[in-house]
Chain A
Amino acid sequence: MPEFLNLQGYGSLLADGAKLTILVGLFSMVIAMLLGLFGAWGKLARSRPANFIAGAYTTIVRGVPELVLILLVYYGAPTLLQDIAATMGVELFIDINPLVAGTCTIGFIYGAFSTEVFRGAFMAVDKGQVEAARSVGMGRVLCFRRILLPQMWRFALPGLGNVWMVLIKATALISVIQLPELMRNADIAARSTRLPFTCYFLASLIYLAITIASLLGQQQMERWANKGVRKA
């Protein structure tokens, strides 16, 4: 094996990192979708406070870099809570787990992006469907569950695919809070083997493979979701 390809056994470290990256990505995506559904409801609801909260959420999160938000949550949240506790006379020591902090922050950020996706998807569902459901006597919640939710997915899938693609790449940022995901492990391998280019390039190829697999998966899901739609 040529010298520059000899990973000295650090290959398995990259594989472990890739597993954690996908895991963190999936968990964050679930959080992002739940927040996105709530956010879309907030934006479309006929309630001023809900409109305002959802609007502020998407405006702020989409205007601040992910890295700043991650650092804010990981370093800022514990000190903020400690300070608040101190003013109430309670001695508190909080240490956030990087896995939890990273996953929640990424989910929280991309929740803002999926809010916009879900909002568009709900609005794309034919108004007549909702009117018909209401006129046969379904309540708001029932109408949402039986009519809007199943039909909205078809419109949401392309946008959600984009969110996922950006999200999985953003998980690399969690490496700054020492979570041993792909990027962090590539960093460790690069320092130990003194082959930074090889290690980072290999990591980038793994990310590329995840992207390609996601693209193929997205195509399949869209085909499945559009089964019942006739195309010109």
Chain B
Amino acid sequence: MPLVPDIVIESLPRLMSGTWVTIQITALSVIIGLCLAVPVALMRVAKSRMLSVPSYVFCFYFRGTPLLVQIFLIYYGSGQFVDLLQTVGLWQFFRQAYFCAVLTLTLNTAAYTAEILRGAIEAVPWGEVEAARACGMNTRVIYRRIILPKAFRLAWPAYTNEVVFLLQATSLVSIITVMDLTGVTRVISARSFAFYEMFIAAALIYLVLVYGVLFVFRRIERRITSHMQAVS
């Protein structure tokens, strides 16, 4: 048997296009999810119950149920409200698997990230907040200058894990017919019966992606915490 089976080499271009879709979906969800997670986390730590309870329910629901159920809920579930969505003019979006996939992954990662950020915000030393207040900063400025930058640094290692999980979770979008790396692999292997060759190839590509992301994020971590590192 050759080291790399022919079928894998032949389908390399299609695997690469699938990989590109995986990267796209991951990047979109990570970026939009992060933008969503910051306000959700701020709502979570707010004193007002009107703000903290909805945020708590959102996080609890998306963290407590499987991602696959969420994807089906949004993609197939929206079909129950076709008339309503058509009158609002949103049906053209919910009809597309790609849109639903990104939407679900975004909401999912926003919930997990908000939870990570909440922990980090609560871990910011109170003395720093007091010092900022003593300098005359108001709450808004304190959040912008002191709490959020510190919280991001504290949250970074946990956030790295979340991004890696999200990257792997994007494989689920293949179930609703999006042609990401897993989707392409499933189609090719079902046609050629080269199941283990194709899936091992896909697994290797995922390994490269995951450890690539880890490498980059560790680099950034060293950068943003360079002032806190012990001199050795």
Contacts and interface: CB of A to CB of B under 8 A. Distances in A.
Interface of A: 4, 60, 62-69, 71-72, 75-77, 79-80, 169-173, 175-176, 183, 186-187, 190, 194-198, 200-201, 203-204, 207-208, 211-212
Most central of B66, B67, B175 by chain A CB within 10 Å: B66
Contacts of B73: 196-197, 200-201, 204
Contacts of A208: 60-61, 64-65
B176 to A, nearest CB: 11
A200 B207 contact: no
Given A72-B199, A197-B77, A204-B73, A65 B64 contact: no
A219 to B, nearest CB: 16
Interface residues of B, number: 40
Given A183-B68, A196-B76, A197-B81, A75 B207 contact: no
A77 B2 CA distance: 19
Contacts of A190: 72, 76
Given A169-B65, A196-B80, A207-B64, 10 more contacts: A66-B168, A67-B182, A69-B203, A75-B189, A194-B80, A196-B77, A200-B69, A204-B69, A207-B66, A211-B65
B207 A169 contact: no
A67 B185 CA distance: 12
Nearest to B167: A65
Interface of B is mostly: helix
A65 B169 contact: yes
B207 A63 contact: yes
A-B CB proximity, top 6 nearest = A76-B196, A197-B77, A172-B66, A65-B171, A65-B168, A72-B199
B210 interface: yes
B39 interface: no
B186 interface: yes
Nearest to B67: A169
A68 B202 contact: yes
A64 B208 CA distance: 9
Contact of A198 (B69, B72, B80, B174): B80
Contact of A72 (B65, B76, B175, B203): B203
Interface in B28-73: 60-61, 64-70, 72-73
B200 interface: yes
B175 A68 contact: no
B79 interface: yes
Nearest to A176: B175
B171 A67 contact: yes
B72 A196 contact: yes
Nearest to A76: B196
A186 B171 contact: no
Contacts of B79: 196-197
9 contacts: A68-B202, A71-B182, A80-B195, A172-B66, A172-B68, A172-B69, A196-B73, A197-B78, A207-B64
B143 interface: no
Nearest to B193: A79
A60 B204 CA distance: 9
B69 A207 contact: yes
B86 to A, nearest CB: 16
A64 B69 contact: no
B217 interface: no
A204 B64 CA distance: 8
Contacts of B172: 67, 173
Nearest to A74: B195
A75 B170 CA distance: 20
B151 to A, nearest CB: 22
Contacts of A66: 168, 171
